[in-house]
């Protein structure tokens, strides 16, 4: 028979080995669950987890919880998702052109300025909060809120009635600011040499609640090498 002390040591060693195996298994499982996957090509509810861009450049990954749906199509200059049962969404964009403000709202695209924050701040039909410094995925930028201000009589943009046109993306889709909405924008001026404008928007009456959900997505953003 083994002495009692040796038996006790053997049991202790066995417990340590078992715990080590369980810890390693848990770590391995966590890495597998965290593997990023591409967004579906069709409009579809997203399963909670990590996703990565395919077309949009610069590349990045982000996490979503319950209640998000992708808004295809993802392109090299825009990626959008929205809440499944709510009127609100968020997106990432590389703005190459902007609509020059005019009283008639006639389409007049011009090259995007280097200072996108200043462009929003000085837009005659937008009301913006004072920019404050933020960091997204390790990249520094500026954040501010946007509301539509006073518009000329019978104003109607390309994006709709009482909607201020912001930009047109490469697929022809229009980004605009509807009068009833409030938006929060973040401008990152140097993400791998590009200026990325990201933001979320919802009806102003629902904005505070929506912002809590959208901000979690932004907090999870990681810029990737591919």
Question: For residue 77, what are its two tokens?
Answer: 């200059």
pLDDT for residue 13 is more than 80: no
Q: State which fold the 37-223 domain adopts.
A: Protein Transport Mog1p; Chain A (3.40.1000)
Banded model confidence at residue 187, pLDDT cuts 50, 70, 90: very high
Which pTM was predicted?
A: 0.83
What was the pLDDT predicted at 221? 98
pLDDT band, residue 153 (cuts 50/70/90): confident
The predicted-structure confidence for 93-152, as pLDDT tens digits, reads as follows: 999 999 998 876 567 899 999 999 999 999 999 999 999 999 999 999 999 999 999 998
Q: Where are the domains of the chain?
A: 1-33, 37-223
């Amino acid at each position: 028979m083994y002495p009692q002390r040796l038996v006790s040591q053997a049991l202790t060693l066995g417990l340590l080995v078992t715990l080590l195996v369980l810890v390693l298994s848990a770590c391995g499982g966590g890495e597998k669950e965290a593997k990023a996957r591409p967004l579906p090509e069709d409009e579809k509810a997203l399963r909670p987890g990590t996703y990565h861009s395919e077309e949009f450049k610069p590349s990045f990954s982000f996490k979503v919880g319950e209640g998000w749906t992708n808004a295809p199509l993802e392109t090299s200059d825009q990626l959008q998702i929205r809440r499944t049962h709510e009127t609100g969404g968020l997106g990432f964009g590389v703005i190459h052109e902007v609509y020059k403000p005019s009283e008639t709202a006639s389409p007049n695209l011009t090259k995007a300025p280097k200072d996108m924050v200043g462009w929003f701040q000085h837009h005659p039909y937008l009301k913006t909060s004072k920019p404050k410094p933020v960091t997204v995925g390790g990249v520094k930028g500026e954040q501010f809120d946007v509301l539509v201000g006073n518009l000329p009589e019978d104003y109607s943009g390309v994006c709709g009635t009482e909607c201020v046109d912001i930009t047109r993306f490469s697929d022809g889709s229009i980004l605009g600011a509807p009068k009833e909405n409030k938006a929060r924008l973040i401008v990152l001026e140097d993400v791998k040499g590009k200026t990325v404008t990201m933001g979320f928007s919802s009806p102003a009456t629902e904005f505070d609640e929506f912002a809590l959900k959208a901000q979690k997505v932004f907090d999870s953003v990681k810029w990737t090498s591919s």
